[in-house]
């Protein structure tokens, strides 16, 4: 997308993560660790931007800004602010990355390839069926990643089935023949799948829900704070893909897009782990 930092302006550049809430975000830790590892004089901060305020924030940015990472509740709002969307952002119906290049806003989605990389880093098991807890933008991106990995059957388990309709439609539109069903989180039946993915808050992971997921061999917990969540804590003896795995891989891809340089993945991962340890002992 660029020829590197020199082509992007040659001096210090600014990036940030936006969302609401945002104080918990590890993105500044990861990106700053990458800058330090490569000797880049760049900054990366966190800004609280509530739903509806994204356009005003982006419109006010100066030419020294290079990229934005977007988290809840802004991923779908950002679709309308991009001058150009990548195929994966369009497929996901969500933008978690805005690259600011020569006056153009390019909307991308690194959650999708980041999720695939995180899963395959932890397991090579064949995956054909998936249960996803939650039906928002993150559920869509991880669901699409699972389809790319061979999943052909997806159960979306949500509080309000009507709110999962957009995610279900986006998943059904990706490959021919995928089966997507919408159910409720308070169903009493056991969850039967090759992988269960949680995109819901830790407080929504009731004891009953965790028990219902107990036979699924691969657990993907998209959260990293608080850690472990009830679902992650129950995964002993099973394959666990954690929120930090997802965050590191998608952040590394953002780093590549923003700087034009290969991200120092392990340095970023180490910084994230250290930060989480610090929070757990604080």
CB 3 within 8 A of CB 9: no
Q: Which residues of 110-139 are buried (b: 16+ CB within 10 A; e: fewer)?
A: bbbbbbbbbbeebbeeebebbbbbbbbbbb
In which element (H, E) is residue 150 found? none
Concerning whether 95 is annotated as a catalytic residue, the answer is: no
Q: Considering 13, 31, 32, 75, which one is annotated as catalytic? A: 75
What is the rounded CA–CA span in Å between residue 3 and residue 259?
9
What is the rounded CA–CA span in Å between residue 10 and residue 170?
40
Q: Which residues of 39-60 are buried (b: 16+ CB within 10 A; e: fewer)?
A: ebebebebeebeeeebeebbee
The set of catalytic residues is 75
């Amino acid at each position: 997308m660029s020829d590197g930092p020199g082509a992007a302006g040659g001096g210090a550049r600014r990036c940030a993560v936006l969302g609401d809430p945002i104080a918990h975000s590890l993105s500044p830790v990861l990106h700053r660790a990458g800058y330090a590892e490569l000797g880049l004089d760049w900054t990366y901060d966190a800004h609280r931007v509530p739903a509806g305020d994204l356009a005003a924030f982006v419109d006010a940015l100066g030419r020294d800004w290079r990229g934005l990472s977007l988290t809840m509740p802004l991923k779908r709002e950002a679709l309308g602010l991009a001058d150009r969307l990548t195929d994966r952002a369009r497929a996901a119906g969500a933008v978690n990355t805005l690259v600011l290049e020569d006056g153009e806003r390019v909307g991308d989605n690194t959650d999708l390839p980041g999720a695939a990389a995180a899963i395959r880093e932890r397991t090579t098991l064949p995956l054909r069926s998936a249960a996803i807890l939650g039906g928002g933008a993150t559920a869509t991106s991880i669901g699409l990643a699972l389809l790319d990995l061979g999943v052909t059957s997806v159960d979306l388990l949500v509080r309000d089935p009507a709110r999962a309709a957009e995610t279900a439609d986006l998943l059904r539109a990706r490959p021919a023949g995928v089966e997507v069903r919408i159910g409720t989180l308070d169903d009493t039946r056991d969850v039967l799948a090759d992988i269960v993915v949680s995109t819901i808050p830790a407080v929504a992971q009731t004891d009953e829900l965790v028990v219902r997921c107990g036979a699924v061999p691969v657990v993907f917990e998209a959260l990293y704070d608080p850690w472990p969540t009830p679902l992650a804590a129950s995964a002993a003896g099973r394959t666990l893909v954690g929120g930090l795995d997802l965050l590191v891989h998608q952040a590394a891809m953002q780093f590549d897009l923003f700087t034009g340089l290969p991200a120092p993945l392990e340095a970023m991962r180490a910084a994230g782990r250290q930060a989480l340890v610090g929070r757990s002992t604080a």
